[in-house]
Amino acid sequence: MARVSIKNIAEKLGISSASVSLVLNGKGKNGRISEELTAKILQTAKEMNYRPNMAARSLKTGLSKTIGLLVADVSNPFFAKLARHIENAADKKNYQVMFGSSDESCVKFSKLANLFIEKSVDGVIVAPTTGCDSVIMQIEASGIPTVMVDRTVEDIPVSSVVINNYDAAYRVATHLINEGCRRIGFMAYNMELSNIKKRHEGYLAALKEAGLPTDDHLVKSVCFENFEENIQKELDSLLSYNVDSIVFATNRVGLQSLSTLQKSNRIGNLKFGSIDNPDEYKISGIPIISVEQPIEELGNRALELLYRRINDPKYKVVETVYLQGTLVL
Amino acid sequence: MARVSIKNIAEKLGISSASVSLVLNGKGKNGRISEELTAKILQTAKEMNYRPNMAARSLKTGLSKTIGLLVADVSNPFFAKLARHIENAADKKNYQVMFGSSDESCVKFSKLANLFIEKSVDGVIVAPTTGCDSVIMQIEASGIPTVMVDRTVEDIPVSSVVINNYDAAYRVATHLINEGCRRIGFMAYNMELSNIKKRHEGYLAALKEAGLPTDDHLVKSVCFENFEENIQKELDSLLSYNVDSIVFATNRVGLQSLSTLQKSNRIGNLKFGSIDNPDEYKISGIPIISVEQPIEELGNRALELLYRRINDPKYKVVETVYLQGTLVL
DNA sequence: CTGAAAGCGCTTACAG
DNA sequence: CTGAAAGCGCTTACAG
pLDDT digits (tens, 9 = 90+) for A267-307: 888 999 999 998 888 888 888 999 999 999 999 999 999 99
**Roughly how many angstroms between the first and final C-alpha of chain B, as a whole number?**
58
Average pLDDT over residues A24-51: 81
Residues in chain A: 329
pLDDT of residue B31: 55
Contact B143 A2 (CB under 8 A): yes
Please indicate whether residue A108 or residue A36 has the higher confidence score (pLDDT). A108
Strands B288-292 and B320-323: unpaired
Which nucleotide lies nearest residue A59, CA to C1'?
C8
Confidence of residue A110 (pLDDT cuts 50, 70, 90): very high
Confidence of residue B39 (pLDDT cuts 50, 70, 90): confident
Answer for B251: CB within 7 Å of strand D. Answer: no
pLDDT of residue B13: 87
Is A287 part of the contact surface with chain B (CB cutoff 8 Å)? no
CA distances from B170 to A255, B140, B186, B202 (A): 31, 34, 12, 4
Report whether pLDDT(A173) > 70: yes
Percent of chain A with pLDDT over 90: 71
B66 contacts in chain A (CB < 8 Å): 98, 119
Q: Largest Cα–Cα distance in chain A?
A: 85
Strands B288-292 and B271-275: parallel
Average confidence score pLDDT of chain B: 92
pLDDT of residue B128: 96
Is A103 part of the contact surface with chain B (CB cutoff 8 Å)? no
Q: Specify the 3-state DSSP secondary structure of B309.
A: helix
pLDDT of residue A275: 94
DSSP H or E stretch at residue B267: none
pLDDT of residue B29: 63
With 0-12 CB in 10 A as exposed, 13-18 as middle and 19+ as buried, what is A224? middle
Report whether pLDDT(A39) > 90: no
pLDDT of residue B32: 65
pLDDT of residue B262: 85
Report whether pLDDT(A2) > 80: no
pLDDT of residue A121: 97
- Please identify among residues 30-69 of chain A the ones whose CB lies closer than 8 Å to any CB of chain B: 51-56, 58-59, 64, 66
pLDDT of residue A243: 92
Per CA to C1' distance, which residue is closest to C3?
Answer: A16
Phi, psi angle pair for B208, to nearest 5°:
-60, -50
Report whether pLDDT(A1) > 60: no
Average pLDDT over residues B134-142: 95
Kindly report the pTM of this predicted structure.
Answer: 0.94
Report whether pLDDT(B317) > 90: yes
Report whether pLDDT(A31) > 60: no
Report whether pLDDT(B65) > 70: yes
Average pLDDT over residues B129-155: 94
Contact B83 A74 (CB under 8 A): yes
Q: Give the closest-approach CA distance of A277 to chain B in angstroms.
A: 12
pLDDT of residue B197: 92
pLDDT of residue A28: 65
How many A×B Cβ pairs under 8 Å? 146
Average confidence score pLDDT of chain A: 92
Average pLDDT over residues A163-172: 95
Interface test with B, best of A118, A142, A255 (most B CBs within 10 A): A118
Average pLDDT over residues B139-156: 94
pLDDT of residue A120: 95
Give A122-142 pLDDT, tens digit per residue: 999 999 999 999 999 999 999
Report whether pLDDT(A322) > 70: yes
Strands A288-292 and A271-275: parallel
Report whether pLDDT(A30) > 80: no
Report whether pLDDT(A33) > 90: no
Strands A96-101 and A66-71: parallel
> Rounded CA gap, A156 and A274, in Å?
29
Name residue A219's beta-bridge partners: A186
**Roughly how many angstroms between the first and final C-alpha of chain A, as a whole number?**
58
Task: Give helix A165-178 / helix A194-209 axis angle, nearest 10°.
Answer: 40
Note whether B86 and B112 are within 8 A (CB): no
pLDDT of residue B282: 84
Average pLDDT over residues A308-324: 93
pLDDT of residue B329: 83
pLDDT of residue A32: 64
Confidence of residue B178 (pLDDT cuts 50, 70, 90): very high
CA of B18 to C1' of D2 (A): 9
pLDDT of residue A286: 85
pLDDT of residue B239: 92
Is B284 part of the contact surface with chain A (CB cutoff 8 Å)? yes
Phi, psi angle pair for A127, to nearest 5°:
-105, 95
Percent of chain B with pLDDT over 90: 71
Strands A271-275 and A245-248: parallel
Confidence of residue A34 (pLDDT cuts 50, 70, 90): confident
Answer for A5: CB within 7 Å of strand D. Answer: yes
Average pLDDT over residues A9-35: 80
Report whether pLDDT(B1) > 60: no
Report whether pLDDT(A225) > 90: no
Task: Give helix A251-263 / helix A227-240 axis angle, nearest 10°.
Answer: 70
- Please identify among residues 129-158 of chain A the ones whose CB lies closer than 8 Å to any CB of chain B: 141-143
Report whether pLDDT(B27) > 90: no
CA distances from B123 to B138, B139, B244 (A): 13, 9, 46
Average pLDDT over residues A9-16: 87
User: Which residue, B180, B178, B202, B200, is CA-closest to B190?
Assistant: B200
User: Which residue, B216, B215, B293, is CA-closest to B254?
Assistant: B293
Q: Quote the Cα angle for A142-A147-A152, to 5°.
A: 120
DSSP H or E stretch at residue B248: strand B245-248
Least confident of A104-113, B58-67, B259-268: B259-268
pLDDT of residue A90: 98
User: Which residue, A189, A79, A234, is CA-closest to B84?
Assistant: A79
